[in-house]
Amino acid sequence: MEKFNLEDFETLKKEFEARENDLLKFKGDEYAQDVDRLQNFREIGLFMNTSLVEPAIFGLVKQVQGIKNQLLSGHYSWSWTTPEGGEGLKQRFADARNYLLLLAGCVEDLERCRKAQFNLDDNLDSGNCDPYGRYGPTE
């Protein structure tokens, strides 16, 4: 068997990037409107009385735990979908990578809110956000 070389890695990376974009759009449409891609995390944060970061972290950890469980059990399908139509291990990896990107979006949102609240950037409007990245009603 040949070693997993750079060309193999690039092929795998391109496969994942293509699928991740499709999954992010498909699942994003299910959980958030175009107006606020972080809506689901924001709403769960409000329910849990925490910032939108914590729900994103929980989602990421759930994906990583699923990957770990499948790998350690030895029962997994190294594919995008299982023969039964469920999520294959490749999809779990893609979902985990997408959760990392969404988590980065949550941190970016919190930073924008923080900068606006403390007038650190004249180009940002606080939009009635609190330190948790939650937005109240506009006046």
- Burial environment of residue 105 by CB neighbours within 10 A (0 to 12, 13 to 18, 19 or more): middle
Kindly state the helix (H) or strand (E) to which residue 127 belongs, with its residue range: none
Give the pLDDT score at 56.
94
Residues of the chain with pLDDT under 70: 31-34, 117-139
Phi-psi region of 78 (alpha: psi -120 to 50; beta: other; left: phi over 0): beta
Give the pLDDT score at 125.
52
3-state secondary structure at position 87: strand
3-state secondary structure at position 48: helix
Give the pLDDT score at 50.
87
